[in-house]
Structure 1
Amino acid sequence: MIRNLIFDWSGTLADDLAGVLHATNGVLVHHGRVALSREEFRAVFRLPYTEFYKEMLPDACIETVKEIYMAHFPADSAAVPLLPHAREFLQYAAATGRRIVLLSSAPEEHFEAQARANGVRDFFEDAFCGVVDKREGIRLLLEKHEMAAEETAFIGDMRHDMESAHSAGVLSIATCTGYDSAVVLMQAHPDVLVPDLSRLPRLLGGWHVQLANHGHHFPVATVGALITNHRDEVLLLRTHKWSHRWGIPGGKIKRGESCETALRREVLEETGLALGEVTFVMVQDCVEPPEFMRSAHFLLLNYTARCLESLPQVVLNDEAEAFQWLPWADAMRMELNIPTRVLMEEMERRGLAPTQVVGALQP
């Protein structure tokens, strides 16, 4: 059963060929070459793009090429629409409980802007962008997200996508909506070849398939901490995973990892902060949280923790978009996700809020 879907972006979900052609011709003309027509470009372009430019411009510096390319790519993200059936297939994948991740050579800023302009960014659990060689990138992706190759498919529109899928042992699905023709795609021997994404729901079991918790038939154990600094301010993060609401850092417990070890690791990965003493507060049974980006059932082990640094420097990874240190009262007025509000209200009820603890110590 295919539980995980890895998507390419350009030519698979997004119709950005016009913009890519314009930017590529900007690079070629800058180096004294003749601009390519749409048909000429599709005939010669290939991935990894470094090999394409090495052939077209053997003496050019790849870093210079990237700068010129970015300067010529159209600035209007709304000008890059989704391909037909792309939105519907993403909706199908999410509705049937599949995990959805992106693996693309497109620059991160292009994907983020285009995906948000088209209203589909929240479908993706993670996005690996700017990947030169997807054969290496797909292995890193599978390892990071602990995806079993036999339960995973890579959907792309180019021969390199199929070669990458084969190298990782995942199902290769080619769609004839993008850069490579069906003839070229067949040279890479895809497991499945479809004219467009509309054909895939039937091949993946139809709408009656429900893969609760991404194939797990049990809740996923997670940890999270409400972190305070030396001023008793609390740290809140905003993330697309929770519908852009504010919450606390945390994540899944890995096999063989203690809860506290998982907590310290997740906080360090997501914020760059080292924790001092941690204190367990409660467990939340979080079944199908309406704000979360996909179907899920979590057991949330909630803690409080103190920063080791007196002047903590928060460094976010790609799981959050923003952070704030706030006094308790201000934090309670934020648009919090439900589990974070439940935790903070429980802390208030038990007299564990920083202001309550400080007040209790005063004469």
Structure 2
Amino acid sequence: MIRNIIFDWSGTLVNDLPGVWKATNHVLEQANVPTLTLDEFRDEFQLPFTDFYDRFTPDVPLEKLEGWFHSSFREVCGEVIALPHANDFLDFCKSEKFRCFILSTVNPEYFIVQAANAGMDGCFENLYLGIWDKREKIHEIISENNLLKDETLYIGDMQHDVETAHHGGIPSCALLTGYNTLEQLRESKPTIITSNLDELKT
């Protein structure tokens, strides 16, 4: 029986895909690299995001890439809203007394703004933010929170989320509400794939 849920943030609970796509194209423009359509971005983007930039802008220092990205994303950060069913699912988790956590690459500064906008303040027991490679953090989260692996579910929208769950030895749920496509997620072999969080309540 699942008693603990580790959530990804972007594309799982909130929709920041339009803003991240726009900011990433700003980075590519600054680096004189062709920009991507939304479909191309979803096909190509990956975590850790440093691997994405290693492929597209290998000669540009990461510090400069980060500066370009944040200069663009800060303009739209406040427009990020909750995904459909996300708040209802968090209410369901509260009613079922699930322990809930966040493991995400999201910048802590952005998380504060987005969580407030989405009405998700105070929904999580612990936050693990700004984690570029989640596989390096999952064992620590399980250990320091005394989570039993067979009672803990990782929910995310990207292959990296599923890979993180595999690395931690816990079941995974891949959502079709975010960055990766059904085909990409199937390749990672999650425990289950759902269209949205509402389907998990049944």
2:28 alignment partner in structure 1: 28
| Structure 1: runs of 5 or more not aligned | 203-363
SS at match of 1:162: helix
1:92 alignment partner in structure 2: 92
SS at match of 1:122: coil
SS at match of 1:130: coil
SS at match of 2:200: helix
> How far did residue 77 of structure 1 move?
4.0
Q: How does 1:207-356 map to 2 (within 5 A)?
A: none
Identity of aligned residues (%): 39
Q: How does 1:194-213 map to 2 (within 5 A)?
A: 194-202=194-202
> How far did residue 74 of structure 1 move?
4.0
Instruction: State the one-letter code of the partner of 1:198.
Output: D
SS at match of 2:10: coil
CA RMSD of aligned residues (A): 1.1
> How far did residue 198 of structure 1 move?
0.6
SS at match of 2:82: coil
Work out the number of aligned pairs and report it.
Answer: 202
* 1:240-293: CA deviation from partner (whole Å, max 9, x where unpaired): xxxxxxxxxxxxxxxxxxxxxxxxxxxxxxxxxxxxxxxxxxxxxxxxxxxxxx
2:108 alignment partner in structure 1: 108
TM-score of the superposed pair, with normalisation by structure 1 = 0.54
SS at match of 1:164: helix
CA contact (8 A) 2:87 2:119 kept: no
Could you tell me how far apart the structure 1 residues matched to 2:154 and 2:6 are?
Answer: 5
* 1:202-223: CA deviation from partner (whole Å, max 9, x where unpaired): 1xxxxxxxxxxxxxxxxxxxxx
1:184 alignment partner in structure 2: 184
Change (3 A) 1:76 1:19: closer
CA contact (8 A) 2:19 2:76 kept: no
Could you tell me how far apart the structure 1 residues matched to 2:126 and 2:25 are?
Answer: 31
| Structure 2: runs of 5 or more not aligned | none
Moved more, 103-112 or 183-192: 103-112
Could you tell me how far apart the structure 2 residues matched to 1:7 and 1:120 are?
Answer: 12
TM-score of the superposed pair, with normalisation by structure 2 = 0.96
Could you tell me how far apart the structure 1 residues matched to 2:98 and 2:177 are?
Answer: 22
Q: How does 1:127-138 map to 2 (within 5 A)?
A: 127-138=127-138
- The higher radius of gyration belongs to 1
Could you tell me how far apart the structure 2 residues matched to 1:144 and 1:177 are?
Answer: 30
CA contact (8 A) 1:85 1:196 kept: yes
2:170 alignment partner in structure 1: 170
2:122 alignment partner in structure 1: 122
Q: Which has the higher strand share?
A: 1
Does residue 144 of structure 1 match 2:140?
Answer: no
> How far did residue 141 of structure 1 move?
1.4
1:46 alignment partner in structure 2: 46
CA contact (8 A) 2:177 2:196 kept: yes
Moved over 6 A (4+): none
CA contact (8 A) 1:162 1:173 kept: yes
> How far did residue 120 of structure 1 move?
0.5
Higher RCO by CA contacts (8 Å cutoff, separation 6 or greater)? 2
Instruction: State the one-letter code of the partner of 1:142.
Output: I
SS at match of 1:177: coil
SS at match of 1:6: strand
CA contact (8 A) 1:7 1:100 kept: yes
> How far did residue 144 of structure 1 move?
2.1
